């Protein structure tokens, strides 16, 4: 069998493409694609005039095909080969179904591989099985019959129909019709019955037209109706999608349709009983309908053009590809470069969303601090972003809910606690960056911008703030806390302090993160969030900025007891209770996930890095002090012991 090379730069193979000369048949699109890749010689009979009436082609504006090699309907290809010695010798003979009576014979006389493409097997299976016996390779458009063909011809492959984007393109102009349909309608057929029923409820524009005129009707319709015959995956399915108009089609079990395209995402699928309801739904939802139409168009242009089909066919015959693409492979290729529908919709919505949101839970006027909710709202007068206040007390909510700087608020009858307040605010936020801010914090625009830049540039950032720590999980204490002005470069930490920090809203929600409401009314929320982020592969960072101020426990310091959810509890008791909850929760998570490393602090890595940097820069005293402290915590650690020994020798 001749080897054919269709790669760029190599001599193009010669394909003899055989079909009866109907200019609007599927093979016309194949010919256009083949001529882009190969030397193509067309072979076959002209289209008889009687076929115009028989196939209702009166509106066809394309001229009948004049082949390079004219034959009758049942040509002896040995004779044709000898009679046309002036034509390039074929590297491949490809016969594509076009008219029922055109069947060549004596194909071995051509001395090259032969292949056929059978389209209407759902209408004429027995004849197609006979035709397949005469070819080296068999390609079928209807996947449901693949096994039947493989019983008579093992080298049979699925090659679904497709579109031609240059022909099936979107025409500019207004939508003129609610529902359009282009195709044949047989008297008494199921298609006729469905169209009649639909037309009684919603006007259907029907034309029998082809090529450009067909694409124009599709483009001028808000949706195009499709009805399969014997569950075939027909040309219209791909052609409508290619024009960027939403397709309204029935389901075709076994055809691969619902593996290639998703109902409600790429097209609209109706059932006989809900045809009218489905059409009305999408006519009433313009934005949804047009979004589905645009997505369907991108899918077919990515993987379902006749160029794609010809390349796949040639790869099998010429390059030894073991099979054509499966439905799953075609689906994957069609999705290349496309976002998930939810992601795409979310990004469209976020075009109109604010850049940032500020979420502020408020219990009182922070009597132990010089700063409070009023001073914070004054700070935010000069900082862009929506402001969402969660009032954890009815009285303060009544006093401040009309403040002009508050975009939205939630007023709780009772204190629901810090974590619940954060969750309520986060659910109300629309900004891409969400800042959680204590009411007793003083912040500036510089601090907000610095934190926000870190949030969107630091690798894997899930949470970013100006202060944070490495903590000892077992003892619930900090190994090392980084206060304001104590560091000069961004760094990954175990947890970010909760009085002022930011999260990426979409990343936060998509990763399943939330603030643990079990810690109500306060304590351990930050450490819990740090472990949540670590568990899903995100990171917590602190960034250097001094453009803020905060005095610890501006509210809690003034209270011995805290009211929440209709009860009061001693501050010390809350701390002890939540410590137990924190330890129990994360030990169970680490145990069930077989992930003890989850509870290990990043402090050791930080100190080891610091010691090495001190050694390089000659700060030996700092290195020795740091490694001694680390050795007390990790006395059995080989890496720590080795570095300690090295530093001690300096």
For the segment 592-627, what is each residue's pLDDT rounded down to a tens digit? 999 999 999 999 899 898 889 888 888 888 888 888
Q: With a cut of 50, say whether residue 8 has pLDDT above it.
A: no
d(CA 33, CA 88) in angstroms, rounded, equals 19
- In degrees and rounded to multiples of 5, residue 460 shows phi and psi of 65, 25
DSSP per-residue string spanning 489-552: S-EEESEE-TTEEEEEHHHHHHTT----GGGTTSSSHHHHHHHHHHHTT-EEEE----SEEE-T
**Rg (alpha carbons) of the chain, rounded to whole number:** 35
> For the domain that residue 194 is a member of, what is the CATH number?
3.40.50.2000
- What pLDDT score was predicted for residue 293? 96
- What pLDDT score was predicted for residue 643? 84
Domain assignment of residue 312, yes or no: no
618 shares a domain with 593: no
- The predicted model gives 429-447 an average pLDDT of 95
- The predicted model gives 110-132 an average pLDDT of 94
- What pLDDT score was predicted for residue 617? 87
d(CA 501, CA 482) in angstroms, rounded, equals 14
- Please state the length of the chain: 650
241 shares a domain with 128: no
Domain assignment of residue 31, yes or no: yes
Domain assignment of residue 339, yes or no: yes
382 shares a domain with 278: no
609 shares a domain with 573: no
Cα–Cα nearest to 141, from 97, 99, 181: 97
When pLDDT is cut at 50, 70 and 90, the band that residue 352 belongs to is low
Which of 59-73, 255-269, 561-575 is least confident?
A: 59-73
Name which residue leads in pLDDT, 509 or 584. Answer: 584
- What pLDDT score was predicted for residue 558? 53
Domain assignment of residue 563, yes or no: yes
When pLDDT is cut at 50, 70 and 90, the band that residue 346 belongs to is low
Domain assignment of residue 4, yes or no: no
- In degrees and rounded to multiples of 5, residue 408 shows phi and psi of -145, 160
335 shares a domain with 385: no
Name which residue leads in pLDDT, 551 or 11. Answer: 551
Report which secondary-structure segment, H or E, holds 92. Answer: strand 92-96
Q: Which domain holds residue 639?
A: 603-648
d(CA 542, CA 547) in angstroms, rounded, equals 14
3-state SS class at 475 = coil
Q: Identify the DSSP state of 263.
A: B
275 shares a domain with 379: no
Cα–Cα nearest to 141, from 128, 154, 127: 128
Name which residue leads in pLDDT, 554 or 260. Answer: 260
Spatial neighbors of 475 by CB under 8 A, at least 6 apart, are none
Q: Identify the DSSP state of 265.
A: T
pLDDT digits (tens, 9 = 90+) for 445-476: 999 999 999 999 999 999 999 999 999 998 99
As for how many domains the chain has, the answer is: 4
Contact 119, 128 (CB under 8 A): no
Q: How many CB atoms lie within 10 A of CB 349?
A: 10
588 shares a domain with 619: no
499 shares a domain with 429: yes
62 shares a domain with 26: yes
Please list the alpha-helical segments (H only) found in 38-124: 50-54, 77-83
- The predicted model gives 414-420 an average pLDDT of 91
Maximum distance among all alpha carbons in the chain? 107
475 shares a domain with 390: yes
pLDDT digits (tens, 9 = 90+) for 204-257: 999 888 888 899 999 999 999 999 999 999 999 999 999 999 999 999 999 999
d(CA 117, CA 136) in angstroms, rounded, equals 12
> For the domain that residue 588 is a member of, what is the CATH number?
3.90.550.10
- Exposed, middle or buried: residue 346 (CB in 10 Å: 0-12, 13-18, 19+)? middle
- The predicted model gives 269-284 an average pLDDT of 94
Q: Mean pLDDT, the chain, as a whole number?
A: 90
Which of 19-23, 33-37, 234-238, 533-537 is least confident?
A: 19-23
Domain assignment of residue 167, yes or no: no
236 shares a domain with 101: no
Contact 542, 467 (CB under 8 A): yes
When pLDDT is cut at 50, 70 and 90, the band that residue 60 belongs to is low
Q: Which of 582, 599, 616 is the last residue of a domain?
A: 599
- What pLDDT score was predicted for residue 6? 45
pLDDT digits (tens, 9 = 90+) for 32-52: 999 999 999 999 998 766 665
Domain assignment of residue 123, yes or no: yes
Produce one character per residue of 116-129: b if its CB has 16 or more CB atoms within 10 Å, e if not: bbbbbbbeebeebb
- What pLDDT score was predicted for residue 65? 76
206 shares a domain with 130: no
Domain assignment of residue 195, yes or no: yes
């Amino acid at each position: 069998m001749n080897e054919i090379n269709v790669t760029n730069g190599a001599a193009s193979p010669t394909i003899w493409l055989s079909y009866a000369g109907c200019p609007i048949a599927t093979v016309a699109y194949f010919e256009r694609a083949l001529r882009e890749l190969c030397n193509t010689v067309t072979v076959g009979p002209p289209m008889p005039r009687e076929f115009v009436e028989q196939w209702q082609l009166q509106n066809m504006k394309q001229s009948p095909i004049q082949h390079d090699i004219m034959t009758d309907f049942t040509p002896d290809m040995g004779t044709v080969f000898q009679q046309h010695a002036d034509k390039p010798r074929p590297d491949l003979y490809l016969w594509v179904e076009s008219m029922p009576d055109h069947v060549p014979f004596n194909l071995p006389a051509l001395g090259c591989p032969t292949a056929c493409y059978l389209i209407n097997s759902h209408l004429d299976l027995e004849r197609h099985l006979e035709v397949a016996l005469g070819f080296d390779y068999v390609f079928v458009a209807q996947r449901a019959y693949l096994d039947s063909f493989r019983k008579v011809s093992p080298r049979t492959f699925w090659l679904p129909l497709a579109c031609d984007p240059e022909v099936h393109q979107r025409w500019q102009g207004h939508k003129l019709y609610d529902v359009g349909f282009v195709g044949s309608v047989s008297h008494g057929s199921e298609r006729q019955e469905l169209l009649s029923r639909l037309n009684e409820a919603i006007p259907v524009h029907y034309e029998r037209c082809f090529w450009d005129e067909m694409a124009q009707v599709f483009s001028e319709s808000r949706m195009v109706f499709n009805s399969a015959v014997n569950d075939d995956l027909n040309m219209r399915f791909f052609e409508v999608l290619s024009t960027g108009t939403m397709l309204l089609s029935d389901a075709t079990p076994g055809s691969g349709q619902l593996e290639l395209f998703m109902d409600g995402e790429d097209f609209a699928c109706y059932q006989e009983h809900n045809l009218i309801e489905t059409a009305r739904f999408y006519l009433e939802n313009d934005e949804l309908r047009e979004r589905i139409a645009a997505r369907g168009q991108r899918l077919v242009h990515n993987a379902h053009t006749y160029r794609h089909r010809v390349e796949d066919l040639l790869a099998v015959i010429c390059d030894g590809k073991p099979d054509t693409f499966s439905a799953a492979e075609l689906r994957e290729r069609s999705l290349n470069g496309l976002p998930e529908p939810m992601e795409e919709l979310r990004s469209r919505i976020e075009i109109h969303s604010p850049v940032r949101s500020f979420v502020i839970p408020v219990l009182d006027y922070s009597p132990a601090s010089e700063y409070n909710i009023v001073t914070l709202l004054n700070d935010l007068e000069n900082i862009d972003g929506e402001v969402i206040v969660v009032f954890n007390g009815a009285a303060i909510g009544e006093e401040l809910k009309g403040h002009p700087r508050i975009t939205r608020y939630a007023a709780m009858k009772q204190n629901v606690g810090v974590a619940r307040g954060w969750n309520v605010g986060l659910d109300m936020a629309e900004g891409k960056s969400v800042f959680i801010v204590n009411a007793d914090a003083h912040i500036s625009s510089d601090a907000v911008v610095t934190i926000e830049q870190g949030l969107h540039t630091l690798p894997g950032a899930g949470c970013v703030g100006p202060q944070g720590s490495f903590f000892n999980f077992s003892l619930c204490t900090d190994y090392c806390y980084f206060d304001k002005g104590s560091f000069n470069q961004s760094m990954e930490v175990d947890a970010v302090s909760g009085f002022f920090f930011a999260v990426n809203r979409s990343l936060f929600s998509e990763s399943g993160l939330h603030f643990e409401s079990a810690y109500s009314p306060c304590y351990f929320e930050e450490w819990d969030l740090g472990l949540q982020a670590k568990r899903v592969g995100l990171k917590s960072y602190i960034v250097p900025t001094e453009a803020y101020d905060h005095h610890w426990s501006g509210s809690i310091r003034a209270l011995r007891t805290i009211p929440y959810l209709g009860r009061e509890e001693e501050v010390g008791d809350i701390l002890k209770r939540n410590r137990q909850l924190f330890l129990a929760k994360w030990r169970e998570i680490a145990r069930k996930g077989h992930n003890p490393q989850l509870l290990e602090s990043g402090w050791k890595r930080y100190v080891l890095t610091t010691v090495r940097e001190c050694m390089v820069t000659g700060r030996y005293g700092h290195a020795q002090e740091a490694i001694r402290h680390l050795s007390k915590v990790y006395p059995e650690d080989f890496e720590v012991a080795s570095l300690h020994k090295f530093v001690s020798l300096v």
